[in-house]
Amino acid sequence: MSISDQMPDLSNIAQQLDSDNSRDRLRALVSLRDLSPDEAVPLILKVIDDENLQIRSMAVFALGLKHTEDCFPVLARILETENDYGIRADAAGAMGYLQDNRAVEPLLRTFYEDTEWLVRFSAAVSLGNLGDIRAYDALIQALESDETMLHQAAIAALGEVGDLRCVDQILRFAQSEDWLTRQRLSEALGHLKCEKSLSALNYLVKDPHPQVASAARFAIERINPN
C-alpha cells in the first residue's frame, strides 16, 4: 500500500462532516488527527458550531492541537459568546496550546468575569502554559478561591510564569490537606529558584504522600542539578 493510499481522503472527510448523522461527523473529526494543521483547520471549522455538544467540544479542543492563524479569533469568539460553560472551558484550555500571547487578554477577562469555576480553572491553566507575566495578579487572586482545583491550577501556573514574588504566597499551601495541591506546590517551586523554595522543598521531600515527596526530590534536583 502506498503512502497516498494511507492518507485520509479530504473530500470524503468533508462529506462526512456535512452528514446528518452525528456519528459520521465524530468519526470524521477523529480522522483529522493525521492531517497537517493547514489541512485540518478548515475542516474542523465546518463543525465548530455543531448542534451536537460532543462534536463542538471535540472541534474546539482540536483547534488547540492543530493551530493556525485562523484559530485564535475563533476561540476568542467562543470564549466570549458561548452559552455552554463546558465549551467555554474547552476554548480556554485550547488557547493555552496556541502559544500565542494574544490569548492572554481574553483569558484574563474570562478569569475575572466568568462565573463558572471550571472555565476559570481552564483559563488559569492556559495562562500558565503561556507563561506571561501579565497573568501574575490574576493567578495570585486565584489562591483566595474556595475551589481546591483552582488553587492547584494557580500554583502550577505561577511556577510556569516564574516570578519569585509568588513564593511567599504559595508556601502557605505546604500544609494543605490536599496532597495534589502539595504536589503542585513542589513542582512549582522547582521553577522558582531561591533559598525559600529550597527550604520548603526540603520539608516537602519528607511528605507522607509518595507523589509529593517524589515531586519535591525532582524539584530539588532541578534547582541544584549538582
Residue 5 lies in a domain: no
| Same-domain check for residues 141 and 32 | yes
| Same-domain check for residues 219 and 129 | no
Residue 23 lies in a domain: yes
Confidence of residue 7 (pLDDT cuts 50, 70, 90): low
pLDDT (tens digit, 9 = 90+) per residue, 100-149? 999 999 999 999 999 999 999 999 999 999 999 999 999 999 999 999 99
Q: What mean pLDDT do residues 170-194 have? A: 97
φ, ψ dihedrals at 135, nearest 5°: -85, -10
Residue 170 burial by CB count (10 A; 0-12/13-18/19+): exposed, middle or buried?
A: buried
| Same-domain check for residues 115 and 35 | yes
pLDDT of residue 9: 79
| Same-domain check for residues 112 and 213 | no
| Same-domain check for residues 134 and 54 | yes
CB 184 within 8 A of CB 155: yes
pLDDT (tens digit, 9 = 90+) per residue, 13-63? 888 898 899 999 999 998 888 899 999 999 999 999 999 999 999 999 999
| Same-domain check for residues 32 and 98 | yes
Residue 3 lies in a domain: no
Residue with the bigger pLDDT between 69 and 191: it is: 191
pLDDT of residue 4: 44
Cell 504522600 belongs to 209
- Cβ neighbours, 10 Å, residue 1: 5
pLDDT of residue 75: 96
Q: Which residues contact 161 (CB under 8 A, 6 or more apart)?
A: 127, 128, 131, 132, 133, 135, 136, 139
Tell which phi-psi region holds residue 177, choosing left (phi > 0), alpha (psi between -120 and 50) or beta: alpha
Confidence of residue 166 (pLDDT cuts 50, 70, 90): very high
Residue 99 lies in a domain: yes
- Candidates 50, 48, 29, 32; CA nearest to 40 is 32
Structurally, the chain folds into a number of domains equal to 2
Residue 84 has pLDDT above 90, yes or no: yes
| Same-domain check for residues 26 and 41 | yes
| Same-domain check for residues 134 and 186 | no
In angstroms, the CA 115 to CA 109 distance is 11
Residue 198 burial by CB count (10 A; 0-12/13-18/19+): exposed, middle or buried?
A: middle
pLDDT (tens digit, 9 = 90+) per residue, 197-212? 999 999 999 999 999 9
| Same-domain check for residues 224 and 162 | no
Q: Residue 199 sits in which domain range?
A: 174-226
pLDDT of residue 144: 93
Confidence of residue 1 (pLDDT cuts 50, 70, 90): very low
| Same-domain check for residues 155 and 205 | no
| Same-domain check for residues 88 and 115 | yes
pLDDT of residue 12: 87
